[in-house]
Structure 1
């Protein structure tokens, strides 16, 4: 059965894997999904890892069984992460298998395979109440922002803008680096920014006065260096010294460098995602309703938002106190 725009797949008796090329097919699968560019790249790497594993074992991915997927998963669990040097976390392994499962679901819909081998595999158990991301306290976030303010050099203004967007909006690093100048705007008296969030959904957020000031200062400096006015600037919002789009690795390095300058003990383990966790925790501790934090972070499930809230088990927030206080007021 052929489908316009997709590679023609068959199930030959011999061993060639995915006629038409696995890369072509993977791209067709990705085009069929509403995904941010960051997620698209991650899924592309996830499927490529599986295809490489299959090729090393002369295994046709069209004939893989759940036993093969199990063997792959167990090998992933012992693979060392490039950044940390530690084995991949269960969440990372589960995410890779989830991407692979979506890939096979697409193959099933095209009748290239009879069933999805990932569906019967033994996936890692994920503790939904725990996150491996190292968090930051409000004081540490303040210290990080202060370090950015004190920083000097040709990229200091850009770094202050990037850090403000991460801290005040809780953006994912992929959302941050994907921002273009045309994404900045104003809505009903609010400075705003639009971006494509997880799942390919277009979202908008308000810029706080502090974040707007940092962004404006950076763009003014960038325009002056180019000899143009701010409205004449084009392209990505955050750029490198050569004018290219800032990448996620540069943001990781920037966060850790400034965290070290700020004297934060866990600086070497921090990531841009640490600021996203801090955003959720601080918002909840300041009384922002869970549903508002959930909407701001773009989570479809409130349980995900709760997992980001590092202070959720603090006994100061136990609702028993609220119930007791209300009862005491009624008795007076």
Structure 2
């Protein structure tokens, strides 16, 4: 299949000028990188944007072809990005360009990878930035949701799932009805995490109550249907459409405001809140990592915000009398 056929079929991104000026083999290899080498759609979009921006930048700085791109070009681009963007974003864009040129080198489109020797900005993270709620605030939020409606039952179940199972919002919204099941006389949930990793864990008794109420109250009988759905405007009942992540974020902010919570929380707040609360109550970091499906406890530590209380207590020692 030629690159022109792929583009005509709408199967890949539009070609940057430098790629379009190359031969058919280089064009196809470029498109194959996004179609074959990257499976995650979010990563694919981010990498395509980064590659397009970089190639447009070097073309605008007088580079005539892919083979003319040198490490000095990549380094200058990274230096410019560093004045506008946060280090994690710059590192992600450098990774995108580096992986793209690795792919082009293997396909013998270019002789060397110009990004291989370029270093990104230093960035060390020991503490996550996600806002965390106190256990009492979370309890207030859950209790103030009106569960006399389909929307209320859904929202309480979704927030409860993120708190009690440490589920990522993406994994929660990807669940089907069949991903809530009974095993050993208890309700379990099945989460489809990053990298197509399936993660199963039993429900906390409170989450079990929320899920039962939601599934039975909203009559979710289609085992293959999405678990969390939008609300149809006409009927104010659940539709057949999966709940988008943007809608879930807006719902969380709306529910928090109604509960009188001033913290600017988001979907990941509940994952961090659940992990922090678990650790405060004697849970181990290793088990928290297993429950959150983290491959390393270092990742789990970013969600551990127990030191926030220590910091606040120490700040209050500064007494000016």
The TM-score bracket by the shorter chain reads 0.7 to 0.9
- Is 2:271 the counterpart of 1:276? yes
TM-score by length of 1: 0.74
The CA deviation at 1:99 is 4.3
Aligned to 1:50: 50
Structure 2 alignment gaps of length 5 or more? 1-11, 13-17, 232-238, 312-321
- Is 2:112 the counterpart of 1:122? no
Q: Which among 192, 198, 201 is matched to residue 196 of structure 1?
A: 192
**What per-residue deviation string (whole Å, max 9, x for no partner) do you get for residues 58-100 of structure 1?**
3656654443333444454455xxxxxxxx5323333343344
Give the 3 Å change call, closer, same or farther, for CA 20–243 of structure 1 in structure 2: same
Q: Aligned partners of 2:185 and 2:267: how far apart in 1?
A: 29
Aligned to 2:306: 311
- Is 2:296 the counterpart of 1:301? yes
Give the 3 Å change call, closer, same or farther, for CA 52–105 of structure 1 in structure 2: closer
Give the 3 Å change call, closer, same or farther, for CA 55–313 of structure 1 in structure 2: closer
Q: Which among 209, 217, 225 is matched to residue 235 of structure 1?
A: 225
Q: Aligned partners of 1:13 and 1:42: how far apart in 2?
A: 22
Asked whether the 8 Å contact 1:51–1:61 carries over to 2, the reply is: no
Aligned to 1:181: 177
Q: Aligned partners of 1:206 and 1:247: how far apart in 2?
A: 25
The CA deviation at 1:217 is 1.8
Where do residues 24-35 of structure 1 align in structure 2 (5 Å cutoff)? 24-31=32-39
Structure 1 alignment gaps of length 5 or more? 1-6, 32-39, 80-87, 224-229, 317-332
Q: Aligned partners of 1:315 and 1:126: how far apart in 2?
A: 25
Aligned to 1:143: 140
Q: Aligned partners of 2:67 and 2:134: how far apart in 1?
A: 48
Asked whether the 8 Å contact 1:147–1:259 carries over to 2, the reply is: no
Q: Aligned partners of 2:254 and 2:66: how far apart in 1?
A: 43
Give the 3 Å change call, closer, same or farther, for CA 14–243 of structure 1 in structure 2: closer
Where do residues 243-254 of structure 1 align in structure 2 (5 Å cutoff)? 243-254=240-251
Asked whether the 8 Å contact 2:191–2:198 carries over to 1, the reply is: yes
Asked whether the 8 Å contact 2:19–2:66 carries over to 1, the reply is: no
Q: Aligned partners of 1:146 and 1:221: how far apart in 2?
A: 17
Q: Aligned partners of 1:22 and 1:193: how far apart in 2?
A: 39
Q: Aligned partners of 1:173 and 1:162: how far apart in 2?
A: 9
Where do residues 153-192 of structure 1 align in structure 2 (5 Å cutoff)? 153-192=149-188
Give the 3 Å change call, closer, same or farther, for CA 204–246 of structure 1 in structure 2: same
Q: CA RMSD in A?
A: 3.0
TM-score by length of 2: 0.76
Q: Aligned partners of 1:313 and 1:266: how far apart in 2?
A: 14
Aligned to 1:262: 259
